[in-house]
Amino acid sequence: MLLFVLAFLSFYASVHYYLYRKVNQAFVFGLWSRLVLGLFLSFATLSPVIWRVLDSKGVVELSRPLAFVALLWMGFVIYFFLVGVVVDLYRRFHSPGPRKALLITLTLSLLLSAYSHAETYYLQVYRFTIETPKLPPGRELKILHISDLHLGPIMRGERVEMVRKVYDREKPDIVLATGDMVDGNMKGLEYLADMLAQMRPPLGKFAVLGNHEFYVGHEQAIAFLERAGFKVLRGEATAVGGLLNVAGVDDPAGERLGYGAFTDELKVLKGVDTSRFTVLLKHRPEVRREVLPYVDLVLAGHTHGGVLFFVGYTVLRLLYETDRGIKELAPGKFIVVSKGVGTGGPPMRLLSPPDVVLITLRGQSL
C-alpha cells in the first residue's frame, strides 16, 4: 500500500510540475508569483493524502469538502497533462506560442472535465439472458448486479437513488453487489444504508468486500452493508430459495493489508451442490480456470471500464477477463463485469458511463 501511495504521489507531482512549467513558459512571473504557484501546486499534490487522513480520523467536516475540490482538481489536472502532451506533439509541426498553447490546453481540459463529470450521472442498464438446465423449464429469475458505488465523501444519495429507480422499475428477484460499496468514513451517512435497505427483493441481497472497503475500514463497511440489508459473504456459499447457490470471497487487498481476508474461491466452491445454478461474487474480474467446474456465473466490478474508455479497452483487458459486459469463459460458464455506479477517484468518466446489470436466468429443458 505504501509503495502504491509513493508511486501515485510521484506521478501526481510530475503532472503538477508539468502544469507549473507550462504556466511559467506562457507568462513571465516574478519570484513571489512563482513561489505562490509552487506552494498551491504542492498542496494540490498532497491533497488526496490529506483528505484521506482527515476522513480516517473522523474529521469529516473538513475531509468531505476538501475531497470534492481535490478530486475535481485531480481530474482536471490529469486531463491537462494528457491534452498538453497532444498539444506538445502538435507544436512540433506547427508553432503556436506558449500562451496560445496554454489557452488551447486549458480550454480542452475544462471541456473534457465538464463532460466527464456530467457523464457520471447517466446510468446505463445492461441486460443479459442466460439459459440454463439448472432451473425448471420456463422458470425465470432476475438478478440485479450492482458494484462500486463508492459511497462516502463524494458519492451520496443520488447514486443510491439511481440504483433504486432501476430496482423499483425492474423488480428483480435478488440483488448482488460486488464490492467497493463503501469508500470513506461513514459517520453521519447511515441514511445511505437506510435508503439501500428499502430494496427488499424476495430472494434477498448479498455482497462481498472490495479493495476500498479494506482501505477505509472493513468492519465499518460490513456494519454499513448489514444495516443496508445485505448478507456479506466472506469466503462462504449459501443456498438461496432452493434455486441458486451464491458464493462470495473477499478482495485480495484484505490479505495484503493483513486483515485475514477470505479469498480462496476454489475452497468455497468445492462444497456447493453443483446441481444448482451457482453464482460467484468477487470484486476483481479474475477467474481461476480450476473453479469453472463448480460455478456457472461470476459477477465482478472494480474496473470502472477504465474510467477513460481507452484505458479499459487496452490496459484493463490485458489485466482482467474483461473491463465490462459479458464474456463466456467456457461453454455455459460466464463472467459479467459492471463498470460500477460511482467513482473511487475524480467524479469523472469518459465514454465509460456508470451502469448496473440485469441478468435473467431462464430455465431450459435438458
Its sign, for the CA torsion 351, 356, 359, 360, is negative
Per-residue pLDDT at 30: 81
Range of the domain at 266: 124-363
Segments of the chain with pLDDT less than 70: 1, 365-366
pLDDT digits (tens, 9 = 90+) for 316-351: 999 999 999 999 999 999 999 999 999 999 999 999
Per-residue pLDDT at 1: 67
Q: How far apart are the first and last CA of the chain?
A: 49
Per-residue pLDDT at 267: 95
Number of domains in the chain: 2
Per-residue pLDDT at 260: 84
Identify the domain boundary among 67, 100, 119: 119
Instruction: Specify whether 145 is located in the same domain as 240.
Output: yes
Per-residue pLDDT at 255: 92
Instruction: Specify whether 195 is located in the same domain as 335.
Output: yes
Identify the domain boundary among 81, 100, 119: 119
Instruction: Specify whether 189 is located in the same domain as 283.
Output: yes
Instruction: Specify whether 162 is located in the same domain as 107.
Output: no
Closest-CA residue to 148 (of 352, 346, 344): 344
Per-residue pLDDT at 366: 62
Instruction: Specify whether 230 is located in the same domain as 105.
Output: no
Question: Rounded to two decimals, what is the model's pTM?
Answer: 0.95
Q: Looking at residue 230, what DSSP letter applies?
A: P
Per-residue pLDDT at 92: 82
Per-residue pLDDT at 295: 97
Identify the domain boundary among 93, 119, 145: 119
Instruction: Specify whether 338 is located in the same domain as 357.
Output: yes
Give the span between the Cα atoms of 350 and 306, in whole angstroms.
Answer: 9
Per-residue pLDDT at 2: 74
pLDDT digits (tens, 9 = 90+) for 281-324: 999 999 999 999 999 999 999 999 999 999 999 999 999 999 99
3-class secondary structure, 85: helix
Instruction: Specify whether 103 is located in the same domain as 186.
Output: no
Q: Is the separation of the CB atoms in 301 and 148 below 8 Å?
A: yes
